Amino acid sequence: MHHKLVVLQEIRPNKVYLVKYQNQDKGQFYLKKYLAYQYQNIVEVVKILKGQQLRNIVKIIDVSIENNELLCVVEEACKYNLREIIKLHETTFDTQEILKCLLDIIGGLLELKNLNIFHRDIKPDNIVYDGENYKIIDFETAKKFQDDRTKVQSLDIGTLNYRAPEITQNRAYSSQCDVWSLGCLFYYMLFKQERNHMDQLVIPQNHNYDDQIIKILERMLEKNEKKRITLANLQNDVQQLYNINNNQTQSTRLEQNTINLVSDINKNINEIHNDINTFNNIMTNLIIKEKNEQKIIKLYQFWTKRLGTIFPLKIKERQTIENLLLFQIQEFKQKRIKIDLFASIDQIKDELNCIQDLNDYYDF
């Protein structure tokens, strides 16, 4: 074992370890060992990747050769790989998250393609999530190519259910083989089940996905690699879908949350003073109209703070709005929207354009 490294956990026997550097507080890393007979291609690839700042490729920290083994230290991106993440979060891994993940991996494959590298083993086990981005790991089958087309055939490359037909059928292939595997991965994310490589493409019945999504899937799983969608076009199409979806989910979810909330308050608390009803309705309408996430949070903050001062006895209502504020913060954080919190009522007033509409209410 590498003298500076301490093994914390053996992830795959004799092959992948969770490690840390001795006497240093640099965090945890993964160490992967490749045997000599495997490593000619890999040495070339990891040397190119080492030190590069790539958004969707796990960062390679150190490469060395010891006792005929290639040792490769990479940053720890996450405790779980994509297969494990989907199992743990089956219901929250929704269309938007699937598109975000797909976009990230397309980004990673384009980063590799720019460096003339194929990955050749894209599958859920070789994708990890660092809390912000999805990243490609495992360069065991990666290879540097000269002109984006291999002349020799390689058997057995990649994992059977994710292997492109041109590889299975022993033909020369290009970086388009990674688009096929990514198509298989997309299928797995959408339907939470693996596609058998022998099967024709069958789209399970009763799904709720948009036609556009299924069309993209079919264009990725096109058997003829020349007709298969290219990475650049794929990135374009998926980005567009992601943007449309993002705007829709954001506004509909918000509207639904606030409308439900106000109707709950009004239903459950009969003795409520008429003025608090009007105030709640005004706040709801302002939040629905507001497009800026930061201002939405400010409006919620204003709402809870004003409830506290103008209706100090209505503790239950304030708690409900506070919960909604927390829920909203959580939701924005998941969408990686950065928000400032803990604003004073004066700061809030300064930043809200709609404060005029609220004038009637705040000097109660």
The residues binding ligand ATP (CB under 6 A) are: 11-12, 15-16, 30, 32, 58, 74-78, 81, 125-126, 128, 137-138, 140
Residue 119 vs 295, nearer CB to ligand ATP: 119
Q: Footprint of Mg ion on residues 69-128 (CB under 5 A)?
A: 125-126
Residue 138 vs 225, nearer CB to Mg ion: 138
- Give the one entry of Mg ion, ligand ATP, none that residue 48 binds, where binding means its C-beta sits below a cut-off of 5 to 8 angstroms depending on kind: none
Residue 126 vs 301, nearer CB to ligand ATP: 126
Q: Mind giving me the DSSP string for 188-247?
A: HHHHSSPPPTTS---PPSS----HHHHHHHHHHT-SSTTTSPPHHHHHHHHHHHHHHHHH
**Amino acid identity at 28:** Q
Residue 59 vs 228, nearer CB to ligand ATP: 59
Distance CA 232, CA 211 (A): 21
# binding residues, Mg ion (CB under 5 A): 3
Nearest approach, Cβ of residue 14 and ligand ATP (Å): 10
Torsion of the alpha carbons at 39, 40, 46 and 48, rounded to the nearest 10: 180
- Give the one entry of Mg ion, ligand ATP, none that residue 32 binds, where binding means its C-beta sits below a cut-off of 5 to 8 angstroms depending on kind: ligand ATP
97: nearest Cα among 249, 255, 257: 249
Nearest approach, Cβ of residue 192 and Mg ion (Å): 20
Nearest approach, Cβ of residue 330 and ligand ATP (Å): 24
Residue 46 vs 283, nearer CB to ligand ATP: 46
> How many beta carbons lie within 10 A of that of residue 298, not counting itself?
23
Distance CA 110, CA 329 (A): 33
Q: Footprint of Mg ion on residues 27-66 (CB under 5 A)?
A: none
Q: Mind giving me the DSSP string for 117-135?
A: EE----SGGGEEE-SS-EE
Give the interface segment with Mg ion, choosing from 18-26, 131-139, 214-222, 355-363 (CB under 5 A): 131-139
Residue 76 vs 125, nearer CB to Mg ion: 125
**Amino acid identity at 146:** Q
Nearest approach, Cβ of residue 17 and ligand ATP (Å): 9
Could you say which of 97, 104, 138, 166 contacts Mg ion (CB under 5 A)?
Answer: 138
**Would you say 278 and 286 are in contact if contact means Cβ atoms under 8 Å apart?**
no
- Give the one entry of ligand ATP, Mg ion, none that residue 173 binds, where binding means its C-beta sits below a cut-off of 5 to 8 angstroms depending on kind: none
Strands 16-21 and 5-12: antiparallel
State the residue for tokens 């209706």: 311
| Contacts with Mg ion, residue ranges (CB under 5 A) | 125-126, 138
